[in-house]
Amino acid sequence: MPNLQVALDNNTIESALADAVKVGQIVDIIEAGTILILQEGDKAVKALRGVFPDKIIIADTKCADAGKTVAQNMANAGADWMTCICSATIPTMQAAATEVSDLQVELYGNWTKEDAQKWLDAGITQAIYHQSRDALLSGEVWGEKDLNRVKELVQMGFKVSVTGGLSPDVLPLFKGVDVYTFIAGRAITQASDPKKAAQAFKDVINKIWG
């Protein structure tokens, strides 16, 4: 059954923690978002680890280079998993992967199936399929093309997380696809009742994949 991950793209630790504690017991994975880490540094990860000692915590660094140093820093701060951007080199990914429990490749732009095979061959088994926030803002939506690429990655052997403009209404689109994790940010944190919003995601996941 797919996991539910909340992405905290807040500007401050205080605001991120306030959001996190509302839904922390419902979601499976808590993400320190890129915006948050760029604003607050590794202290954002430390704060989440302090409040949620037993949850999977992801540092969404979208690391492109200096994989070893960035991953060491994030692991020291308490992150379990970390993200790297798909345009990072294989040596960067491998260097990062040795320092965290798991590394996730964030898929943006021109990646190919050959690239994906190279990541697998290098031992990277998690990928995040993205509808870019800015692409969504400019009117793009989830469609058949996205679904087919997600399916292809699953068939190749990746654990695939899916993110970008998700709502409980969108999830049935993925019926029959072995999605590893659905990631939602503001659809949960900006809801009038975040706890209810997180539970609504969980309910749909249970109904379709349970």
Summarize as ranges the residues that interact with a second copy (CB under 8 A). 9, 11, 34-35, 37-44, 61-70, 73-74, 85-89, 91-92, 94-95, 106, 108-112, 115, 130, 132-135, 137-138
Residue 65 CB coordination number (10 Å)? 15
- Residue 25 or 76 with smaller CB distance to a second copy: 76
Q: Cβ closer to a second copy: 9 or 202?
A: 9
> What is the C-alpha separation between 95 and 47, in angstroms, rounded?
25
Question: Are the C-beta atoms of residues 15 and 46 closer than 8 Å to each other?
Answer: no
CA distance 153 to 119: 11
Joined together, the tokens standing for residue 134 give 């800015």
Alpha carbon 47 to chain centroid distance?
Answer: 18
Separation in Å, CA 50 to CA 55, 72, 107, 110? 10, 18, 30, 37
Measured from the CB of residue 25, what is the shortest distance to a second copy in angstroms? 27
Least distance from a second copy to the Cβ atom of residue 174, Å: 21
Pick between residue 28 and residue 115 the one whose CB is nearest to a second copy.
Answer: 115
Number of H helices, E strands in the chain: 10, 8
Q: Which two tokens stand for residue 3?
A: 């996991």
Candidates 33, 25, 27, 72; CA nearest to 205 is 27
Q: Which is nearer to a second copy, 67 or 168 (CB)?
A: 67
Q: Is the dihedral of CA 110, 116, 118, 119 positive or negative?
A: positive
Taking the complex as a whole, the smallest distance from the CB of residue 132 to a second copy amounts, in Å, to: 5
8 Å CB contact between 152 and 186 = no
Beta carbon of residue 194, minimum distance to a second copy (angstroms, whole number): 20
Q: Which of 43, 55 has the CB closer to a second copy?
A: 43
Residue appearing with tokens 């749909």? 204
Query: Nearest distance from residue 110's CB to a second copy, in Å?
Result: 5
Q: How far is the CB of 116 from a second copy (least distance, A)?
A: 12
Nearest CB to a second copy, comparing residues 22 and 46: 46
